[in-house]
Structure 1
Amino acid sequence: MPAKGPSLPAHPPATRSLFSRMLANVAWLIGGKGFGAVCSLVYLAILTRTLGLKDFGHFSLIFGTSQALIAIAGFQTWQVVVRFGVKHVHDEDWDGFGRLGMMAGILDVIGAVIGCGIAWLIFYQFGGGLGINPALVDTAFWFNVAALWALVSAPTGIVRALDRFDIAVYVEAVVPLGRLAAAVAIWLTGPSLVKFLIAWAAIDIIEAILYWIVARWLCPRAIRLSHLRDAFRARAENPGLVRFFMITYASASIEAVFRHGPLLAVGYFVSTSAAGVYRLAHQLAQGLAKLSTLLSRAAYAEIARARVSSGAKEFRQLVGKTSRIAGGAGAIVVILVALLGGQLLALLGGEAFRSGYVVLVPLTVAACFELAGVAFEPVLHSTGRARLSLMAHLCAMTSAAIALLLLVGPFEGQGAAWGVATGAAVGYVVMGVLAWITLNKIDRHEVSIVLPEEEKLP
């Protein structure tokens, strides 16, 4: 007899609207991320002030490379689990949900192995081009290996498909709290770049282990090792899965290049120190626009759930309300950065980082375009039009790459940041138009919510 986990409703109570459920999930995420944001500001200040501009630049390049590799090698399997898993949860098909989750876990392992090979090529064949100190190459490689094996994509998707954002908050709080504790300990005992990297890697691995433990605890009927044997039956049980996986993986890879490529370009074309300034500005911009991440996590799961349990009218209302809130929040963030950005950078990193203000402003603009369009991609994914989101990401990356190549030479880090902002603006417009067209089609033909176009293919 499998162990009993906490009771899980087959689907959220009908008395709560889609929007109210999403806001409840966002509230949980804000609580956790608010705590995490405070921790991250403190440990980021410790990092910048103890390492200095040059070593923080090395840390930024190594960490940025790991984030890009995670996005590329991680396959973003959480989107597959949420997209197809919510129907299994709604129907209480725990065996089907378990096979889907275990298949995602296997894909994460395959991605980690591939990522390790890519990491070897980057650091041992092209490390000099990034300006990384040769003495740090071994450390950088093993840090990236640890980060790749600490992937939590599959269990993250499982927890979100089960609508347990409250539990996820506690698990994800381990990272900022652990990093803060480690940063303070390293600061007091003698700071060094290697110590920070080792601590960050160990904390990520602990989080990954905890996520799988929680996924098993929440749904022991589904998350069982026995499902590993027949995990790939999930392909036949979920029509359209392979195509959806390939499209979302391509989109995620493009987004990873768009998000992390400029930092590596600054390190390659300008200097390691410039990369450090760019990294701090990027971190602050992302922190101030963190609501986009919170809304996207909650919106993605709720919009996917709406696809199988609600009508077109409520579906459209959810998207409209989410977009309006996100757009207003983005405008507020840009105003705050324009007024206080330089002071925040100097407070975190010291006067040497104040020059990052000219980088911070366009990066914040880019982050806020992402925030304003947070509901667009979930609409396209949940209605079987993931290929359209891929097209939008391609447009964004192409625009950003052209603008970056034109601007990074004469304007260095500031030019790279405006290239990112240009790409974000193009992506927002293209994705928004495609989402609007999709919503209009749904309004005229409501059944498309239940039976996406991908699932109609022979």
Structure 2
Amino acid sequence: MPASAEHDSRLALRRILSNFGWLLGGKGFGAVSSLIYLAILSRSLGVKDFGHFALIFGLSQAFVSLAGFQTWQAIVKFGIPHLARGDRDAFSRLSVLGGVVDGVAALFGCLAVTTIILTFGEALELNPAYDEMALAFICAMLLTRVSAPYGIIRALNRFELSVWVGAITPAGRLLAAIGIWLTGPSVGRFLLAWAIVELITAIAMWFTAWRLGPEWMRLSRVREWRTAVAENEGIRGFLWVTYWNTSLQAVVQQGPLLAVGYLFGTSAAGIYRIADQLAKGLGKFALLISDAVYPEVNRQRHAPRVEDFRTVVRRVNLAVIPMAAMIAGLSVAFGSDLLMLISGPGFEAGGLILVPLVMAASLELASVAYEPVLHSVSKAHYLLWTRIAAVALLLTAVFTIPENSLGVGWVVAYVQAFEYLVLSLLVWLAMRRLGRARSDGSSDR
């Protein structure tokens, strides 16, 4: 590799590590805070009420994913070339388009969730007294979801700002949990506090993005949405493919918890949620690495030499695979003790469930570079096909094989292993095809 190419590759990795460092600091604080407020929730509410809280929160997470487009990814993918050319107007139109898509999706989500909660609340063993509470909470979470401002901040490579604002959520939840614990815990009070914290975070994130460039968020740009679509060729298809990818991922992430509640009751859902929350700590670690990698992979995708791009991807994979194995080993060895320390009596069965869920999360971490790579080479549909197959496999297995919550956990692990193997093959094929297209001088987009 020429010296200049090696230098560019190292600079890219340094930017990834810098972004990751900021995100890790924020997520580290969030992880510690979440362990504390999770302990307060489970110990103060007990297994049954914590199960109600877990099901309502799980439904909210599922609906947020099902009703939301990944506009931040579109802003990064299509916005970085605009910024590189100095076309601030195009970036402004793209940013406003992202905000409009977020808002419209949230409104449609609120309409859909009303029907779902009123129809399936009883099937999930939600106490009828929680129906209206759950509906209000999920709508609040939908309306306070922010994606476009994250895209603006990340396209500008200002990860430190998103970290500071993102810390509002865990800090706010922790303070609220302590206050509620001291003054009288209830499911409703915790849900109300969580909704208020999300609202504060959303306002802060939009304000931060506005401060970085008020001209990028002018409401007058709304009527230029057709221009924004026209000057970002392929954005419609990209948004829909990433939407379905995220929606299917939501089924994989939240579906097992809801299935446990449906098949085995609210208390079983509470126990599963504790184990799932600890395992998802590893999944969140994967997510923050992906967030750090995503902008840089899209930048390197346009490098003159395809080998520079492949080198960055290869080095990221070589870094995360042993990291995933090490963290998974530590989680399996000490996770059960941590679970009991956090949750207390009544949640003992969660220790066994934690093992397969940690294995699934470690595979998610090992594949952290796959989504950014497939998006950057315009092969997001590969990810979509794989997740369609994974969701079909998951739904079939969950409702036919398990006899208890532990069985559901093992189904999740096996499905994640299937997804990892298939995506590994597809990424290898995509990178190989990219190399051939460049060597032939043909279009590789």
- Asked if residue 442 in structure 1 is aligned to residue 434 in structure 2, the reply is yes
Q: Alignment RMSD, CA only?
A: 1.8
Does the C-alpha gap of structure 1 residues 314 and 19 become closer, same or farther in structure 2, counting only changes over 3 Å? same
SS of the aligned residue for 1:352 comes to coil
| Contact kept? 1:366, 1:424, Cα under 8 Å | yes
- C-alpha distance in 2, partners of 1:439/1:335? 31
- C-alpha distance in 2, partners of 1:62/1:291? 24
Shift of the alpha carbon at 1:54?
A: 0.5
Does the C-alpha gap of structure 1 residues 298 and 281 become closer, same or farther in structure 2, counting only changes over 3 Å? same
- C-alpha distance in 2, partners of 1:387/1:35? 35
SS of the aligned residue for 1:163 comes to coil
- C-alpha distance in 2, partners of 1:375/1:395? 20
Paired AA for residue 133 in structure 1? N
Which residue of 2 is the match for residue 433 of structure 1?
425
Aligned mate of 2:105, from 83, 90, 111: 111
Which shifted more, 41-50 or 243-252? 243-252
Shift of the alpha carbon at 1:193?
A: 0.9
| Contact kept? 2:71, 2:151, Cα under 8 Å | yes
Paired AA for residue 210 in structure 2? R
The alignment's TM-score, normalised by the length of structure 2, stands at 0.95
Which residue of 2 is the match for residue 182 of structure 1?
176
SS of the aligned residue for 2:400 comes to helix
Which residue of 2 is the match for residue 419 of structure 1?
411
* Percentage of matched positions with identical amino acids: 44
| Contact kept? 1:307, 1:449, Cα under 8 Å | no
Paired AA for residue 295 in structure 1? I
SS of the aligned residue for 2:301 comes to helix
| Contact kept? 2:306, 2:435, Cα under 8 Å | yes
| Contact kept? 1:343, 1:354, Cα under 8 Å | no
- After superposition, the C-alpha distances for 1:321-367 in whole angstroms (9 at most, x for unaligned) are 11122111111122112211221111110031121112111111111
Which residue of 1 is the match for residue 232 of structure 2?
238
Does the C-alpha gap of structure 1 residues 58 and 303 become closer, same or farther in structure 2, counting only changes over 3 Å? same
- C-alpha distance in 2, partners of 1:330/1:351? 30
- After superposition, the C-alpha distances for 1:270-306 in whole angstroms (9 at most, x for unaligned) are 1101101111111100113432011110111111121
- C-alpha distance in 2, partners of 1:32/1:200? 19
Which residue of 2 is the match for residue 8 of structure 1?
none
Which shifted more, 86-95 or 269-278? 86-95
- C-alpha distance in 1, partners of 2:322/2:46? 36
SS of the aligned residue for 1:130 comes to coil
- Asked if residue 202 in structure 1 is aligned to residue 210 in structure 2, the reply is no
- After superposition, the C-alpha distances for 1:36-82 in whole angstroms (9 at most, x for unaligned) are 11111111100000001001100000000000000010112112111
Aligned mate of 1:59, from 32, 53, 57: 53
Shift of the alpha carbon at 1:122?
A: 1.8
Paired AA for residue 423 in structure 1? V
| Contact kept? 1:308, 1:450, Cα under 8 Å | no
Which shifted more, 39-48 or 152-161? 152-161
Does the C-alpha gap of structure 1 residues 243 and 317 become closer, same or farther in structure 2, counting only changes over 3 Å? same
Does the C-alpha gap of structure 1 residues 260 and 15 become closer, same or farther in structure 2, counting only changes over 3 Å? closer
Unmatched tracts of structure 2, length 5 or more:
1-6
- After superposition, the C-alpha distances for 1:75-116 in whole angstroms (9 at most, x for unaligned) are 121121111111112222111111111111111111111111
Which residue of 2 is the match for residue 259 of structure 1?
253
Shift of the alpha carbon at 1:310?
A: 5.2
Shift of the alpha carbon at 1:227?
A: 1.3
| Contact kept? 1:289, 1:330, Cα under 8 Å | no
Which residue of 2 is the match for residue 221 of structure 1?
215
Aligned mate of 1:385, from 371, 379, 383: 379
| Contact kept? 2:282, 2:362, Cα under 8 Å | no
| Contact kept? 2:9, 2:311, Cα under 8 Å | no
Does the C-alpha gap of structure 1 residues 78 and 98 become closer, same or farther in structure 2, counting only changes over 3 Å? same
Which shifted more, 268-277 or 303-312? 303-312
Which shifted more, 167-176 or 218-227? 218-227
Aligned mate of 1:275, from 264, 269, 272: 269
The alignment's TM-score, normalised by the length of structure 1, stands at 0.92
Paired AA for residue 343 in structure 1? D
| Contact kept? 2:9, 2:312, Cα under 8 Å | no
- Asked if residue 292 in structure 1 is aligned to residue 306 in structure 2, the reply is no
SS of the aligned residue for 1:128 comes to coil
- Asked if residue 68 in structure 1 is aligned to residue 62 in structure 2, the reply is yes
Aligned mate of 1:371, from 361, 365, 376: 365
Aligned mate of 1:48, from 20, 42, 55: 42
Which residue of 2 is the match for residue 102 of structure 1?
96
| Contact kept? 1:159, 1:215, Cα under 8 Å | yes
| Contact kept? 1:98, 1:223, Cα under 8 Å | yes
| Contact kept? 1:383, 1:449, Cα under 8 Å | no
- C-alpha distance in 2, partners of 1:23/1:264? 36
Unmatched tracts of structure 1, length 5 or more:
1-12, 454-458
| Contact kept? 2:71, 2:147, Cα under 8 Å | yes
- C-alpha distance in 1, partners of 2:393/2:17? 33
| Contact kept? 1:85, 1:97, Cα under 8 Å | yes
Paired AA for residue 188 in structure 1? L
| Contact kept? 1:308, 1:449, Cα under 8 Å | no
- C-alpha distance in 2, partners of 1:418/1:402? 14
| Contact kept? 2:437, 2:444, Cα under 8 Å | no
- Asked if residue 135 in structure 1 is aligned to residue 129 in structure 2, the reply is yes
- C-alpha distance in 2, partners of 1:90/1:328? 35
SS of the aligned residue for 2:368 comes to coil
Does the C-alpha gap of structure 1 residues 449 and 243 become closer, same or farther in structure 2, counting only changes over 3 Å? farther
Which shifted more, 319-328 or 199-208? 319-328
SS of the aligned residue for 2:65 comes to helix
